[in-house]
Every structure is written in structure tokens, then in C-alpha cells.
Amino acid sequence: MHKDDLLELHEQMVTIMEYFRAQEHVDSSLFDPYEELSVDPSHVHKSKSEHKHAVFVLGNALASAMSEDEFSSAGRVGKRMEELAEDAESKL
């Protein structure tokens, strides 16, 4: 995936995050690990690897927000996103 495509995906995922944050039943602290990264889609000067890591961390948070438990489809996606985020972080 090219960096431009990754930035677009990142931006779309942030839009989804904002939707979930507006929901009363979603714990907004799920998104704290993503916020702590300080990698925003508009930060085009950040490396592709940093954006990739941010996308996986955000994907994990989004899947957690959608999951009923760790064994639901979204829960399994969240677990995989967590693994991918750890792998991406090790490559930073």
C-alpha cells in the first residue's frame, strides 16, 4: 500500500472513531492508546511506518468498540489488530 492510500485509510478510520466517540454506550478511553501516539492523518511528515502502526492501534480500538466479547468476530479482529500493531511498533 502506498503512503497516500495509507493516509486516506487512516483518515477514514478517524472518522469512524469520531462516530463511536459520540455514542453514549462506547467507552471513549478505548481510543487513548491511539491518541497517545500523536500520529494524525494530517501529519504527512510522519513516516509510513508510524502511520501503519497508528492504523493498527486504531483498528484494535475500533474492533474493541464494536465487539461483544473477545470471541465475537469484531473481538477476533481486534486481537489480530493488536498483534499487527505490536509487529509494526517493533519495526519503527
Query: Quick one: pLDDT at residue 72?
Result: 61
Domain limits for position 25: 3-90
pTM for this model (two decimals): 0.81
Q: Sign of dihedral through CA atoms 82, 35, 46, 15?
A: positive
Please tell me the distance from the alpha carbon of residue 45 to that of residue 62, in angstroms, as a whole number: 25
Query: Quick one: pLDDT at residue 15?
Result: 96
What CATH number is given to the structural domain containing 31?
Answer: 1.20.1270.110
Residue (of 64, 68, 58) closest to 77 by Cα position = 64
Please tell me the distance from the alpha carbon of residue 15 to that of residue 76, in angstroms, as a whole number: 22
Q: List the pLDDT tens digit at each of the 92 positions of the chain.
A: 899 999 999 999 999 999 999 988 889 899 999 999 999 999 999 999 999 999 999 999 998 888 765 556 776 787 888 888 889 899 88
Query: Quick one: pLDDT at residue 3?
Result: 93
Q: How many domains does the chain have?
A: 1
52, 6 Cβ separation under 8 angstroms: yes
Please tell me the distance from the alpha carbon of residue 25 to that of residue 75, in angstroms, as a whole number: 17
